[in-house]
A = this chain, B = another copy of it.
Amino acid sequence: MVQPKPPTNPINLTQKASLIDQQWSPRVVAEMNDYQFKVVRIEGEFIWHSHPETDEAFLVLEGTLRIDLPDGPVYVAPGELYVVPRGIEHRTAAEGEAKLMMIEPRGILNTGHEGGDRTAVNDQWI
């Protein structure tokens, strides 16, 4: 028997993203089953990587998200959703700062299987 969890307050996504003290540092704001909602501030280019085990959803809150894909870039505006399919190499980027919400299973690293010094500490809440 699953024990019902107590309801929490609504989460203002842009406000939560604004509280993060550095770019490229995703912070968890909520969970749904074994998935996590994370917010992040980004600027410049990330590294190419993929997540062989999962799709990854991006919702843009502020600014413009560029997602570089094998066939070229996709530009995602505020209020727009984009799902990067599992196994697809991609690189997130933004000219000027962009604030995003990401959705992915608990335990997924921002750099996928690439690792390296851009790998953020995982499972940090804000």
The interface of chain A, by Cβ under 8 A from chain B, is 2, 4-14, 29-33, 35, 37, 52, 54-57, 59, 61, 69, 71, 74-77, 79-88, 101, 103, 105
Contact = CB atoms under 8 A, between A and B. Distances in A.
Contacts of A88: 4-5, 7
A32 B13 contact: no
B32 A83 contact: yes
Given A7-B71, A12-B79, A12-B80, 15 more contacts: A10-B75, A10-B77, A11-B80, A13-B59, A13-B79, A13-B80, A13-B81, A14-B79, A29-B81, A30-B81, A32-B57, A33-B55, A35-B35, A37-B57, A61-B79
Nearest to A69: B7
A76 B7 CA distance: 13
Nearest to A4: B87
Contacts of A74: 7, 9-10
Contact of A81 (B10, B52, B81): B10
B57 A30 contact: yes
A66 to B, nearest CB: 11
18 contacts: A2-B87, A4-B87, A5-B88, A7-B74, A9-B74, A10-B77, A10-B80, A11-B82, A13-B80, A30-B81, A32-B57, A33-B54, A33-B86, A37-B57, A37-B81, A59-B59, A81-B101, A103-B103
